[in-house]
């Protein structure tokens, strides 16, 4: 009984997942059921012949009162009773009438499965475990499968969750019989049902039969025999006909070394920097390439190299237009080159001559020259422009007296730096002009850095061909424009309205206008066709601005000329110069030179110059070859003041544009600056000319304190007035005072 | 466009200015077209200044791609080197301003 109890305890063991066997059995309960049933069926089939329905009398007595139950008995080959005992023993004390009813109907066939189903659905009691367990333990020779089946049955009984499943599976396997379940009655619900968990059968997944067999096992004999047989066989193998040794040979291909050589793989490093301008250029050329092919192709012809970024002002009127056109030219040419890769564009390769001829190169040369000269003349120009001159830190000052200038002497008094003096800055000269006499100079009205100098003789003898040079302050070594004339130039004037128009009066009486902007060497208009042209040297030409446009006049400005033949002519600039006959000048203010010889008996020789004061509208100066400079007032027929300093003809006189009391005069050997406020007897500054050179003309610079002196050798020297303290303001009152006092004193 | 003679004349004039040591015109490949210096010096100047001009131009255009370099002046203790760069050529003048 203790064993039965132990056995019973076993079924009451909880199913734990740690046990592998248990796991296998519980996880696949259905499967297990199936396998168990399968095993059972196998066992049943094995021992089918001894299959007999045998009812356990005890159980049946308890469970079913009404119907006799057939007991099932299974016998294996040896005749042993291997009837699987029911795993469950219902409690005999408990009244299981109802349950038995269920099973009574089921067990009409009396199969094993019925028995098991009864066992499952009824509670068991320990007392009933006896006969079952005895048979369980008794059947030691039961194959493992059945035993495990029983165990698994036990386990299945224990598993409460799979109860229904088990029953269902059993009922499923049940092929022969149909189970009729009794209706669950209410009394059954109130019953206390005990559940027992048992271990399920072991599921074999892999079975590797052992190589060796235990000596004690039943197979040992057969195994031993088989071993012996084999050993016999091995012994007999030698020399036995049945076993012949045979060798085989396979062909192995002989290995052959093969060498392969390839050209050295040259590695080339390629790098590029994506700069902003690179991307900009690519974008532009890609965008404009196709669009600009058709237009501007005519522009691309010719040997000129058009660069992308250099604008040509003479070609396109608008700045933006030219940019687009130049870029499109470049892109067009580049895209054309891309389209014809096989055509070698011979004309696109810039050969040296092409470079030299290109406009850009000329422009660059021009700029370069200016830059070089700026380096040379920078201190002088700075002084001219009244900028502070900076010392070049790299230049080591030489201990050489630099005072002595090559041609001119500076002021008389060199020790004291406070006396007014003329400081020579530079001179405009080149070999073209050497030998020519400077006759007139004029500033451009719009560009104060542009100077026109006319070269021509005053005298009748030694008439050379005239020369006009347009100088720029930025290049004192070479004129910007050079015009040659047939006869000597006597007078020049720039037009105010059209700043590039230069009127020239010549010694032979002809008048011409030049356009200094273009590089044309010929005058725009010439007066040689005019019938009324002057026959004697033109002393003065002047552009006069008319505020009110009289009828019949096209331009606001007219050209007026005065010549030695006594005529003052007004010229019209149509296809040729045409003049109206002698015109009495209404406004004399601008007309420089009048033939006042008729009205001024005081001057003995020819007047060389008359110049109005820019401040006092009725005061003018005259200079003549009688060594005198005379100050006139318009309403007086006699000069107010006369200035004499040396016994040489005064060639030129000019009022200072800055001070009313200052004027400059040039005679043969000297430049004199007179300051009437300081002294009316002596010039304030005197500067001597170099020997052999006569000073012939004078011009004040408009915005700076500089004067230009032209001489007979073709040089135009620029001097700076230093330390000339005149006083504040324009000194107009001072001039009036002087004149007034002089007049008063004369009376 | 100036006639060819004037271009030559201008070049000659530049060379005769005060302090000018040398004048070089090289094409884009560095081959001298006109030079008043010896060949090795010319080639050296051309090569070095070409690289510098490229860098200067790249700098100017990096800041504003629509801008371009027009002139380059390098002032040193002894000389001043003035370069007028272009796509096709380089015009280089070396001057000693203190002379």
Cβ-based contacts of B4 with chain A (< 8 Å) = 356-357
Please answer yes or no on whether B95 and A375 come within 8 Å at the CB atom.
Answer: yes
Q: How far is B44 from chain A (nearest CA, A)?
A: 19
What was the pLDDT predicted at B2? 55
CA distance A343 to A199: 99
pTM to 2 decimal places: 0.56
SS3 A619: strand
Contacts of A598 (CB under 8 A, 6+ apart): none
What was the pLDDT predicted at B52? 94
ipTM score assigned to the predicted complex: 0.89
Please answer yes or no on whether B13 and A376 come within 8 Å at the CB atom.
Answer: no
N- to C-terminal Cα separation, chain A: 180
Phi-psi region of A110 (alpha: psi -120 to 50; beta: other; left: phi over 0): left
CA distance A605 to A630: 13
Please answer yes or no on whether A364 and B91 come within 8 Å at the CB atom.
Answer: yes
Rounded to 5°, angle at Cα A142 from A13 and A112? 75
**A677: DSSP letter:** T
For residue B95, pLDDT beyond 80: yes
pLDDT lower than 50: segments of chain A: 1-68, 95-175, 290, 292-348, 400-416, 548-555, 576, 581-602
Token pair in block for residue A68: 């006799």
What was the pLDDT predicted at A13? 41
What was the pLDDT predicted at B55? 93
Structural domains in chain A plus CATH codes:
428-583 (2.130.10.10), 599-746 (2.130.10.10)
Give the closest of B7, B61, B80 to A365, CB-based.
Answer: B7
Cβ-based contacts of B11 with chain A (< 8 Å) = 365
Average confidence score pLDDT of chain B: 89
What was the pLDDT predicted at A350? 53
Rounded to 5°, angle at Cα A241 from A235 and A243? 65
Contacts of A180 (CB under 8 A, 6+ apart): A105, A106
Contacts of B14 (CB under 8 A, 6+ apart): A365, A368, A369, A372, B20, B23, B93
Structural domains in chain B plus CATH codes:
19-95 (3.30.450.30)
What was the pLDDT predicted at B62? 92
Positions of E strands within A625-700: 628-633, 641-644, 650-655, 662-667, 670-675, 685-688, 695-700
Q: How far is CA A151 from CA A5, A29, A214, B80, in A?
A: 15, 13, 27, 114
Please name which of A4, A174, A153, A146 lies closest in space to residue A82, comparing C-alpha atoms: A146
Please name which of A618, A738, A745, A728 lies closest in space to residue A676, comparing C-alpha atoms: A738
The answer to whether A520 faces chain B, any CB pair under 8 Å, is no
Token pair in block for residue A206: 């892999």
What was the pLDDT predicted at A40? 46
Give the closest of A305, A362, A376 to B19, CB-based.
Answer: A376
């Amino acid at each position: 009984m203790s064993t039965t109890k132990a056995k019973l305890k076993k079924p009451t063991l909880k199913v734990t997942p740690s046990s592998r066997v248990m796991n296998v059995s519980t996880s696949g309960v259905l499967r297990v059921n199936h396998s168990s049933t399968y095993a059972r069926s196998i066992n049943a089939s094995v021992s089918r012949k001894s299959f007999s329905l045998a009812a356990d009398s005890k159980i049946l007595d308890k469970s079913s009162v009404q119907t006799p139950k057939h007991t099932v008995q299974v016998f294996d080959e040896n005749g042993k009773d291997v009837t699987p005992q029911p795993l469950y023993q219902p409690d005999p004390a408990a009244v299981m009438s109802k349950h038995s009813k269920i099973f009574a109907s089921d067990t009409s066939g009396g199969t094993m499965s019925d028995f098991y189903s009864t066992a499952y659905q009824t509670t068991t009691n320990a007392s009933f475990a006896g006969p079952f367990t005895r048979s369980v333990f008794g059947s030691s020779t039961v194959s493992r499968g059945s035993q495990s089946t029983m165990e698994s049955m036990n386990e299945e009984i224990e598993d409460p969750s799979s109860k229904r499943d088990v029953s269902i599976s059993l009922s499923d396997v049940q092929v022969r019989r149909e189970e009729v379940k009794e209706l669950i009655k209410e009394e059954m619900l109130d019953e206390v049902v005990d559940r027992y968990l048992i271990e399920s059968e072991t599921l074999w997944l892999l079975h590797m039969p052992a190589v060796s067999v235990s000596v004690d096992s039943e197979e040992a004999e057969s195994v031993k025999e088989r071993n012996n047989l084999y050993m016999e066989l091995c012994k007999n193998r030698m020399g036995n006909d049945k076993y012949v040794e045979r060798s085989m040979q396979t062909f192995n291909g002989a290995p052959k070394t093969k060498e392969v050589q390839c050209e050295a793989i040259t590695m080339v490093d390629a790098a590029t920097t994506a700069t902003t301008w690179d991307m900009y250029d690519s974008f532009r050329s890609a965008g404009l390439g196709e669009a600009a092919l058709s237009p501007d192709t005519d522009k691309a012809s010719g040997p000129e190299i058009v660069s992308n970024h250099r604008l040509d002002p003479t070609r396109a009127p608008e700045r933006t237009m030219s940019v687009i056109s130049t870029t499109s030219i470049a892109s067009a040419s580049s895209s054309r080159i891309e389209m014809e890769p096989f055509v070698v564009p011979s004309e696109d390769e810039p050969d040296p001559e092409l470079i030299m001829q290109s406009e850009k190169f000329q422009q660059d040369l021009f700029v370069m020259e200016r830059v070089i000269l700026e380096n040379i003349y920078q201190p002088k120009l700075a002084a001219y422009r009244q900028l502070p001159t900076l010392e070049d830190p790299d230049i080591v000052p030489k201990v050489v007296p630099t005072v002595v200038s090559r041609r001119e002497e500076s002021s008389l008094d060199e020790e004291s730096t406070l006396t007014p003096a003329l400081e020579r800055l530079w001179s405009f000269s080149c070999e073209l002009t050497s030998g020519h006499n400077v006759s007139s100079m004029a500033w451009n009205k719009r560009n104060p850095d542009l100077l026109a100098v006319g070269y021509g003789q005053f005298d009748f003898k030694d008439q050379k061909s005239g020369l006009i040079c347009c100088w720029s302050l930025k290049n004192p070594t070479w004129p910007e424009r050079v015009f040659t004339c047939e006869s000597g130039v006597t007078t020049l004037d720039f037009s105010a309205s059209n700043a590039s128009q230069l009127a020239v009066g010549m010694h032979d009486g002809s008048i011409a206008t030049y356009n200094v902007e273009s590089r044309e060497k010929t005058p725009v208009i010439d007066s040689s066709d005019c019938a009324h042209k002057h026959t004697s040297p033109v002393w003065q030409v002047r552009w006069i601005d008319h505020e009110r446009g009289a009828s019949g006049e096209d331009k606001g400005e007219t050209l007026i000329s005065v010549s030695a033949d006594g005529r003052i002519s007004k010229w019209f600039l149509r296809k040729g110069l045409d003049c109206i006959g002698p015109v009495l000048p209404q406004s004399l203010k601008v007309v420089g030179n009048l033939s006042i010889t008729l009205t001024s008996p005081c001057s003995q020789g020819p007047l060389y110059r008359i110049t109005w004061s820019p401040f006092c509208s009725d005061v003018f100066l005259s200079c003549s070859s009688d060594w005198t400079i005379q100050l006139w007032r318009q309403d007086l027929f006699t000069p107010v003041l006369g200035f004499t300093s040396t016994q040489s003809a005064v060639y030129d006189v000019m009022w200072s544009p800055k001070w009313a009391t200052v004027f400059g005069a040039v005679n043969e050997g000297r430049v004199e600056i007179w300051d009437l406020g300081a002294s009316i007897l002596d010039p304030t500054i005197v500067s001597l000319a170099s020997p052999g050179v006569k000073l012939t003309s004078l011009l004040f610079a408009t915005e700076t304190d500089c004067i230009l002196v032209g001489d007979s050798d073709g040089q135009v020297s620029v001097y700076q007035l230093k330390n000339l303290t005149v006083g504040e303001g324009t000194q107009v009152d001072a001039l009036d005072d002087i004149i007034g006092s002089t007049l008063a004193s004369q009376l | 466009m100036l006639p060819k003679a004037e271009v030559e004349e201008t070049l000659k004039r530049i060379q005769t200015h005060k302090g000018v040591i040398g004048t070089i015109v090289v094409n884009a490949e560095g081959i001298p077209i006109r030079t008043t210096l010896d060949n090795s010096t010319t080639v050296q100047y051309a090569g070095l200044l070409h690289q510098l001009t490229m860098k200067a131009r790249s700098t100017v255009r990096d800041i504003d791609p629509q801008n371009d370099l027009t002139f380059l002046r390098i002032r040193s203790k002894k000389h001043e080197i003035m370069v007028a760069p272009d796509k096709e050529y380089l015009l280089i003048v070396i001057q000693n301003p203190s002379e």
